[in-house]
Amino acid sequence: MNHAPAGPARPPRQLLPSQQPAPPPRAWPARHKAWTAILSVIGLVVVLGVASVIAVNLVTTGTASGTAPCGSPTSRASSPAASLASRQAKFAGVIRASLAAKGLSSSSTDAQLAGVGARVCSARQGGATQATLVSTWASAPRKFAMSAKKFVGTAEKYLCPQFLPQPAAVLLSLRGNGTESSRSVVVTQPALQVKYNYDCSSFGDSGSFIADFETANQNSLDFDDLSIANALSPGGAETITIYPQKTGRQYHLAVNSQCDWSITISTSGS
């Protein structure tokens, strides 16, 4: 039997560099550290943006006790009332009370609720009427548990009371017989309501009744004379509207009659 000649063992075969197996690839974040940092920042911004959008939405939950229907606490991070103007805090309080009366609550902050009410004031300042705003706030019953008219009125009352409709107010009221002139009053509205009546039975069959609402100086170039009545009859009564041209000026009532009469001039309200 032939045997291999004795001698030192042959060293194992060495692989050339080109034949070495490639190392496993590193993970994408390790290979692109700069992009990883940038995308992380972008992701954080997106998350914060979504969170802010959710916070701005007026969300009404099903209970007023601060617990969501599933039993978990409701997030309500209300701004401290001290950080809001007093009227803004009162407005938000009325909204929350209205929701609570229906067993509801809002996760919106007081500042967010006041911001919605401020939109009513901005529209009023831009010339929108109360009736127009009532028709546009059809969602008020669902969001605030109050009618659209009450929501608009609440915003006006607490946030912009200057736009509240003003009730009619008596400007002048005069009663007499014969010729008489009233005290002067400052007119601030472009339309006034006048109610008058006269009775000439004490004079005879018929008498004259002449009444005017006028500025003081008849010789002035900007003199304004508004005729209320110029009648010759046994008597009568009527309600009319007059339109002073000199708002901010003083007017007075001038009556010339043989009859018993009474006249009331009121603002028309708004």
- At 264, the pLDDT band (50, 70, 90 cuts) reads very high
- CA distances (Å), 223 to each of 65, 213, 217, in order? 66, 11, 6
List the one residue out of 152, 125, 128, 127 whose CA is nearest residue 138.
Answer: 152
The number of residues in the chain equals 270
pLDDT digits (tens, 9 = 90+) for 53-90: 323 345 555 555 444 333 333 344 444 444 457 899 99
pTM score, whole prediction:
0.47
pLDDT score of 8: 52
Decide if pLDDT at 31 tops 60. Answer: no
Higher pLDDT, 127 or 269: 127
Give the whole-angstrom CA distance, residue 5 versus residue 116: 102
Residue 54 CA to residue 61 CA, distance in Å, equals 14
Domains of the chain by start residue, with CATH: 79-163 (no CATH), 170-267 (2.60.120.260)
Question: pLDDT for 216-249, tens place per residue?
Answer: 877 777 899 999 999 999 999 999 999 999 989 9
- pLDDT tens-digit series, residues 155-183: 999 999 988 877 889 999 999 998 999 99
Between CA 62 and CA 216 the distance in angstroms is 64
Ramachandran category for residue 103: left, alpha or beta (phi over 0 → left; psi -120 to 50 → alpha): left
Q: Assign residue 69 a region: left if phi > 0, alpha if psi is -120 to 50, beta otherwise?
A: alpha
Tell me how far apart the alpha carbons of residues 89 and 160 are, in angstroms, rounded to a whole number: 14
